[in-house]
A and B are shown apart, each in its own frame.
Chain A
């Protein structure tokens, strides 16, 4: 059971974001494993173990050959990675990114299941899992809060507005997992040391059979026409609780005619 996990390496969400002059997100500083992807990596490791073996392969598109986020996921137990890095990728939109990831998954070879997050923490466009599935020609089972494998099929509980649906498809398939679906393991010291030597297949778009006009700004077929500050919202009243602050809330609610 070979499972590919798409992982994104992003600027630390705790640090305020910045745009470059060309309106791309600044990615020059340290890039870390997106928390959203830690769930996919953990789920893949658990599913591979339960299936009696197989590899977890990381698939990542990142600028400047960045590997630090990959090493974190390799330290958790993933076996190897395919990393796509190329100047032509700057300004890629969701579809361009999905084209790259789909080709990288094909390059990884022998994949039975692809796990992804439902959206990344920094871009959160939210469409890449299903775009990748369409490009691979595979079923997409999205918003999974529970995943099981068996008999060549994957079965999930798919989050809905009113509860969940049980959805099933034959492998190979793409599954996106929701936040909090499993508790990601902390890499052990042994895992961290082993990660340093695990193979990272570092490629450019040419190696994937893609051309510059399919990706990056050229392929995005969109342009940013305005960037501006949002109107500020101001703070109102601030009080310390001396045991009676609840009364002020009650008064506020009455004023709003909520109670």
Chain B
């Protein structure tokens, strides 16, 4: 039983597919002849063109009403697998992707492999690669049982490339009954003004750690520099734990994994769990008072100095060049 049909749990960023969705579709079409998307939302028609251009021949569209997308997605996927028999179902390691694959795993009684950064087919099983121990060790795990095989993939593990395919055929599917889980209702959505790119998709990321000294320093040092460079701001786990910035900014193995063209680490020592979140960056610059901090071991340019002295001057110089 080779792998011939892969489903991808698609997510949207406004009226476009999420970057991670397009990356996973691109990988899926390398591995299987039939690739289809499953989308929970109301604007599948707007996404069909790009989903198709990246390899999805169909998109099953499910309207969640006021339910949680991950919950509605899992219930409906469970209802669909019997009829359609996908060999593999792939999710992004995102908030809704995690909810969906988790509930589906328990519903179908199938294991799930998460934090995948590599994916391959080996005969009639699938192998998921991930990094552990701060990214120093790579582990490949194969499923050993019946499908469908469930996996969650980290954003930026694969490059998104259009295949030139036509628009995906939109097939509306009724949301399945999620039982008590369906009782969770979204009452209100609060969209915070985000200036600049999303953290996982930014070409440039500027992150702050304990060395910036206080919550109040994050704006003027980290956000300001990120904004000037057209990038996104991120944070180490230490300052998220301290409540200085929200969890959504966390870069690291329990936060987001980023692979920007440029990563600037300010006041970050480089705990292994942080480094696994950013050591794939093309260029790394760090500023830290402690010259022995592990972050210097992976930085292309390391400045041993006080962020409060270096960064304001850097900001001034960049402004002068604009």
Contacts and interface: CB of A to CB of B under 8 A. Distances in A.
Partners in one complex: yes
Interface residues of A, number: 86
B90 interface: no
Interface in B272-322: 272-273, 279, 283, 285, 287, 291, 296-306, 309-311, 313-314, 317-318, 321-322
Given A140-B99, A140-B181, A223-B142, A259 B229 contact: yes
B91 to A, nearest CB: 10
Contacts of A224: 139-141
A220 interface: yes
A222 B142 CA distance: 6
A130 B189 contact: no
8 contacts: A126-B152, A163-B192, A165-B190, A229-B138, A239-B304, A249-B314, A253-B229, A259-B321
A166 B304 CA distance: 44
Given A143-B95, A259-B229, A233 B298 contact: yes
A234 B112 CA distance: 34
Interface string B206-249: 00000000000000000000000100000001001111001110
Interface of A: 13, 16-17, 19, 23, 35-36, 93-95, 98, 118-119, 121, 124-131, 133-135, 137-143, 145, 155, 157-170, 173, 178-181, 183, 220-230, 233-241, 243, 245-250, 252-253, 256, 258-259
Nearest to B68: A167
B277 to A, nearest CB: 11
A230 B254 contact: no
Nearest to A214: B109
A238 B302 contact: yes
Contacts of A248: 301, 303
Contacts of A228: 137-138
A165 B188 contact: yes
Contact of A126 (B115, B303, B304, B321): B115
A250 B318 contact: yes
B261 to A, nearest CB: 7
Contact of A221 (B94, B145, B304, B313): B145
Interface stretch (B27-35, B126-134, B168-176): B126-134
B305 A241 contact: yes
A123 to B, nearest CB: 9
Contacts of B70: 130, 142
Chain B interface extent, by class:
35 or more
Interface stretch (B1-9, B48-56, B100-108): B100-108
B174 to A, nearest CB: 20
Contact of B102 (A128, A180, A226): A128
Given A237-B302, A245-B310, A130 B145 contact: no
Contacts of B300: 235-237, 252
B280 to A, nearest CB: 9
Contacts of B246: 145, 159, 178, 180
A139 B72 CA distance: 11
Interface of B: 13, 68, 70-71, 74, 93-95, 98-99, 101-103, 105-107, 109-115, 122, 127, 131-133, 135-145, 152, 179-192, 194, 198, 204, 229, 237, 240-243, 246-248, 250, 253-254, 261-262, 272-273, 279, 283, 285, 287, 291, 296-306, 309-311, 313-314, 317-318, 321-322
B95 A161 contact: yes
Q: Please name the 4 residue pairs, one residue from A and one from B, whose CB atoms are nearest each other, closest first.
A: A241-B305, A130-B102, A221-B145, A134-B106
A116 B72 CA distance: 21
Given A237-B302, A241-B305, A250-B318, A129 B102 contact: yes
Name, among B68, B184, B190, B246, the residue most crowded by chain A CB atoms within 10 Å (CB to CB).
B184
Contacts of B142: 222-223, 225
A36 B106 CA distance: 23
B181 A165 contact: no
Nearest to B189: A165
Given A168-B187, A179-B254, A236 B301 contact: yes
Contacts of A220: 111, 144
Contact of B95 (A36, A142, A240, A243): A142
